[in-house]
Amino acid sequence: MLNEGHTTPGTVAALRRTIGTGNAYRAAKAAAVPPIPTPGTPQPLSVTRFHVRVAHAYYSEFTPPKALWAVFTDGWFVAIKINKPVTFEQLKETFRAQGQGQYIDFLDHITKPQGKGDWTLSTNHLDPKNPAPQLWCTWKNELCIQDAVSLQDYPPFEAGSNTGNGKGKGKARAYPTYPVTLLW
């Protein structure tokens, strides 16, 4: 018969077998927790962000015809995960669909132009007074969005800047935002 507070030799042996297993479980779990970043160490971004606008081309009646632009200054933001592979055609459609997804009649109207044409992309927002599009380089196969952006002629970003003009000197972490114009 067992008295309370006393254990049998078999019970002690069973308890001894568990010693250290609790610590191993805790150690494995602690190793699974990501390390705390050191302040001031830049962390990789999870998305690539774009600010999208629209411009429609039309042609003068002069010979030779000259391309003129109707530039719309309203825009929207699009964030794409950095590891998402896209083709050039898919990227154009993503930008257009995100504008239509805002459910704003004006954006819906400018992203569904009438007439014959095709969309392309510009790496800049067009100035309404002097539009000069800088066309994106195209690609056929799928590329991760970071690789697709690296093909383009965007200026480098500086810490704290959220535009590609290199003027930001702030210390707050900012998502770089690439200007894009959908050209029809």
Instruction: Tell me the pLDDT tens digit for each residue of 47-76.
Output: 899 999 999 998 888 888 888 999 999 999
Amino acid at 131: P
| pLDDT category of residue 166 using cuts at 50, 70 and 90 | very low
The boundaries of the domain holding residue 134 are: 47-183
Q: Quick check: is 61 in a domain?
A: yes
pLDDT in tens, 73-110: 999 999 999 889 999 999 999 999 999 998 889 998 89
Distance CA 136, CA 182 (A): 10
How does DSSP classify residue 94?
H
The domain total for the chain is 1
